Structure formats: structure tokens, C-alpha cells
Structure 1
Amino acid sequence: MLWEIVLLALALFFAFVFFVAYKMTTPPRRVKNWTPKDVGLEYEDITISTTDGLKLKGWWIDRGSEKTIILLHGYASSRWSFYIIPMIETLAKNGYNVLAFDFRAHGESEGKYTTVGDKELIDLVSAIDWLKREKPNSANRIGLVGYSMGAMVAIRALAEDERVCCAVADSPPMHLDKTGTRSLRYFANLPEWLYPFVKPISKMITGTREVHPITYADKIKKPLRLIAGKKDPIVKVEEVREFYERNKEINPDVELWVTEAAHVRTIQLMPEEYKQRILQFFEKYL
């Protein structure tokens, strides 16, 4: 009888862990009615075909420039995020073309599972391919603004795609396991000790590989602005600073801005200063 109880308890535990892993890899889709036209911007609804067979949905805002900025949302978010929408308006009304799209398994894009920074690089590279093919005169200079998971992808692209000139990475996770552990509590309100059980099942479900952005600190030699918040419960300032200190040894154009904000909330804490700093960065480097 005791062994039966133990086996039943273990079965229930691993069933629960599998459920948690499944839910974490299939975040809720956040879609709203807002479009760039609501702030007076003409736009196109676009579909981007990824190299691994998915269709991603997005917006293209053409301002007649040779410079385009691509906006990259975070995990469990979309192009309707509270930080993407104001950046669309700010960048476009200052003369930049803007491309915003939903990563796989988010918003209106296809894809069953998110891989939190692994296959999302395929999404970004495919978006740049689309831009170069469909809007070649608008793609002479390409910059990125990424948030959380999108910041991870921006950092990877800065190192791996020569077509990207510069990037802003807001609240970028640096260590997969540390961020994953904290995210379990932040997104699911579950104890952090569950993470070692959830992680391998998540990898099995998605077929993903581990991405540790900190390793890119020794590779990037292009302009990069890092933004970290002291009240961020997911990404610690010390971790972003570690990346900054390592990267500045080989990259004279890396910058770090530390604020009092929570995760990706600097744009809410100090909206006007935030927008001006982003614009100044791209005026300088793009």
C-alpha cells in the first residue's frame, strides 16, 4: 500500500510538471484591435514566411527612409504590447520605417510552441529576409529594439547577422537557468524549486536548445544599448552589468542604462526620457 501511494504521488507530480511545462511553452495569445492607423500612421498588414515553414503576422510602416527599426516583443506578449505601441509611434513619427511582428506562438503568428530565444532568431532573420526582398530601398540600415525575450534575440542577431547595424536590448535575460527559475514564479506563481523538473520537459516538448546570451558578450562589436531595472524580478542588474563589463573589453560602442524600473517597465516609469534616449541612440549609430 505504501509503495502504491508513493507511485501515485510521483505520477501525479510528474503529470503536474508536464502540465506546467506545456503551459509555459504555449503562452496566451495577446491580440487587440489597435493598429498604427489609430495614431495617424499608414501601414501594411504583412505575412512573413520563416525558413522553417511558419507564417508570422506583422505591420510594416513605411516612412520613406532607407533606415528601418524592427521591434521585438517579449515572452507571452505581442506587437500590441504596452512597450511596442508607443515605440511604433515614436520611431515612425521621427522618420524611421518600422517593422513589428509577432514571434512564433504569439499574437497572430503561427507556431504551437515558444522556444524563448532559440528558434525566435529564425523569426527575426526571416523578417530581415522579407525586408530585404520586399522593401530593398528601406533596408540599407537596420536597427533593433528588443524587450526581454526579444532583447535576447536582438543580442544574438547583433552577433550573427551582418545586416543588423545596432540594437537596444531592454531587460535582456543573460543566464537561462537563473531567468527561467525566476520566471516560473513571475509568470506562473509557482515555487522556483520546480524549475529543474520543468526545464527538461519543456526542452523535450519544443525540441529547443539552450540559449545563454551572456556568451555573446565576447562576440558583439557593434553598437548596443543595454537597459536594466533595479526592481526587475526576472533579470538582475548585476547579470546585465556582467555582460556589459565583458563586452566593453572588445566593443567601444556598448552602453548600459540602469533605472529604478521593473521588468521592461522603464518606458512606463520615464516615458519621455526613454523615447529620447532611444532616438538619440539611433541618431548616433543608425
Structure 2
Amino acid sequence: MKKRIIWIFGLITGIVGGIASLIGYLITSRIIYIKKKDDHFILEREKKALRYDENWYTNVCKENISVHSPNGYIIKGIYFMPLDTVNTMIVCHGVTENKVNSIKYVRLFERLGFNTIVYDHRRHGETGGKTTSYGYYEKFDLQAVLHYLKKRLAKEAIVGVHGESMGAATTLLYAGTLEDEADFYIADCPYSDFSEELYYLLTKQTPFKTAFAIKLANLFLRLRDGYWLKNIAPRTAVTNIQKPVLFIHSLPDDFILPGMTIELYQLKKGPKMLKLFEQGEHAQSFNKNPQEYEETVRTFLHEYVLNKDQNTGDPKNR
């Protein structure tokens, strides 16, 4: 009888363990191999929305760049140089997007006096990498792109980083955990803690509606991709950022809640600015409020970054 009980207990334990392992595997597969938007779809979407001007793209001064990632692959990007200036932005796109989605910001920063680098995150677009890590490995790629840029530019160059969604979280993780080497940052709709964001999305979009699912995801992310969820928490990084940060979010965003950006703004010490737009779903602040967005960035730059007598450059191509 005793042996039978032990056998039944072992069988139940094995079944429960197997189910838990399966759930952990399925959740993490959905995370690290998230389905990306088709590159052609992104291009056509941006053309249709008039955010991608083929004539401008053909004629603008630009250069394809390749940067070696410390994670073991090549980062692919484009360095747009429409202006005669050393001041340059780096733009980090969101998850499932690619560098074409960032070109709308190239035009924005051209008007504000900056050249711009756009690049594909790991496992997106033309860049290598097997998994998406929501800022953990991506922050090292951003560091590599920034080092590449600084080697090319004069010391007096002003360099900023703009990130959208996952790109915003990547920006804050870079500046708060690796090095605060850019002159300023713009974080558009970041999450403050990926574990909380993941729990919110799992309960909203999947049958896994318990905290146990997050614990399983945490363990399996460590086993499969080498990091813990606590390593993707911009709220712990933002307190270390000394340079100015502009935080942006749209109040209707129900994918990453605006409260996360408000929290990050409150935690940030030193120079900072917060803008909450009344219109726009997730990562749509610029698309829905282009003029107000541009004026917000302009105000931030003039208040915290640019010297009043600084020459921001003359256009080579319009």
C-alpha cells in the first residue's frame, strides 16, 4: 500500500512538473520568438501614411552601416546625413518593427537640426540574433552603435537617443545600467518593469492568468536566454541616469499603460520633462500628434540640451 501511494504521488508530481514545464516553455517561446511584422508590410504602411517619402529617401545623403554586436552578430542600420552638422540622433524602434518604422523620426530630427542613425534591433529587420530580449541584450547593441558613432564624430557633437516602446526601455536600461554617455534621451512609451508588463499582457491576451505563470516564465527565460525578468526593469535603471530625459506617452495606450511612464518620470532625478498626449494608441504619439510632438521635443532640446548660440546645421537635401 505504501509503495502504491509513493508511486501515485510520483506519477502526479511528474505530470504536474511536465505540465509546468510545458507552460513555461510555451510562454517563453511566445516571448523570445514573438511574431514580427513583415518588412514589406511595414514599408507599405509607412508609405501609405506618408511617413516614408520615396523621393526624399532616394536623394538624401545617407550611408548603410554595419556594427559588430558584442552579442556576436552584425547590427544593420542607416546613417542619414541631410544636414551639415555633427549633432546626431540614434533611434531605437519597438518590438516587431524595424528601422523603416524609425524613418519618420529622421525627418523630425532633421527639422530640429540633427542627423540620425536608425538600426534594426536583434532578430529584427536585417540584424542577426536568435531571440528578442526586450532590452536585456538590446542595450549592449545600443552601446555598440553609440560607440561606433562617437568614433566618427568630433568631440563637440551632441548625441541623443530616441527610443519607442521596447526601444525606449532599451534606451533607459543602457543609460542606467551600462553608461550614461549620450547627451540626452527621449523615452516614448516605455515599460517600467517587464515582469509587470508581461503579467498584464498574459492576463489580458492568454489563458495564463496567474502569477505562477510569471514565475515559470522567469525561470525558463533564465534557462533558455540567460537572464532574469528583474534584469529588464527600467525603474531600477532610471535613478542612475544623470543626463536629461524626455518621457512621452499617450493616455489612451492600453498596451503599455501610461502610468509606467509617469512612474519612471517620478523616479528620474535631475533634468527631465514629461509629456502625456490626449490622442494615440500604443506608440502612436507622434503619428497622431505630429506638430505637438515636434514642439515638445523642440522645447525639451532648447531647455535642457542646446546652447542658444549653437549652429544646428544647414540642409544638404530637402
TM class by shorter-chain length?
Answer: 0.7 to 0.9
Q: Once the 2 structures are TM-superposed, how far is the Cα of residue 101 of structure 1 from its aligned partner?
A: 0.5
Q: Report the secondary structure of 2:118's partner residue.
A: strand
Alpha-carbon distance in 1 for matches of 2:35, 2:63: 25
- The alpha-carbon deviation at position 93 of structure 1 amounts to 4.5
Give a deviation string over 1:13-62, Cα, whole Å, max 9, x none. Answer: 63243133123102334423849772512322211101232101111101
Q: How does 1:64-83 map to 2 (within 5 A)?
A: 64-81=84-101
Q: What residue number does 1:38 align with?
A: 54
Q: CA 1:80–1:139 in structure 2 vs 1: closer, same or farther (change >3 Å)?
A: farther
Q: Partner letter of residue 272 of structure 1?
A: Q
Residue 281 of structure 1 deviates from its aligned partner by 2.5
Corresponding position: 1:157 with 2:171: no
Counterparts in 2 of 1:198-277, with a 5 A limit? Answer: 198-209=217-228, 210-247=231-268, 250-251=269-270, 253-260=271-278, 261-277=280-296
Secondary structure, aligned partner of 1:154: helix
**Match of 1:142, as an amino acid?**
V
What does 1:111-150 align with in structure 2 at a 5 Å threshold? 111-133=129-151, 135-137=152-154, 140-150=157-167
Which residue in the other structure is 1:19 paired with? 26
User: Structure 1 vs Structure 2: percent identity of aligned residues?
Assistant: 20
Provide TM-score, normalisation by structure 2: 0.77
Answering whether residue 117 of structure 2 is matched by residue 99 of structure 1, we say yes
Q: 2:190 aligns with which of 141, 163, 172?
A: 172
**Residue segments in structure 2 that go unaligned for 5+ positions in a row:** 1-6, 307-318
Number of residue pairs aligned between Structure 1 and Structure 2: 279
CA 1:147–1:9: 2 relative to 1, 3 Å: same
Q: Is the 8 A contact 1:72 1:100 kept in 2?
A: yes
Deviation at 1:149, TM superposition (A): 1.4
Deviation string, structure 1 residues 53-100 (Cα, Å, up to 9, x no partner): 21011111013211100001122222122xx23112221344311001
Identify unmatched segments of 5+ residues in structure 1: none
Read off the aligned partner of 2:136 and give its amino acid letter: D
Whole-angstrom CA distance in 1 between matches of 2:257 and 2:128? 32
Q: CA deviation at 1:185?
A: 5.4
- Give the drift of 1:226: 0.6
Q: Which structure would you say has the larger Rg?
A: 2
Change (3 A) 1:75 1:183: farther
| 2:87 aligned with 1:60 | no
Contact 1:105 1:111 in 2 (8 A): yes
Distance in 2 (alpha carbons) for counterparts of 1:139 and 1:262 = 37
CA RMSD of aligned residues (A): 2.8
1:280 aligns with 2:299: yes
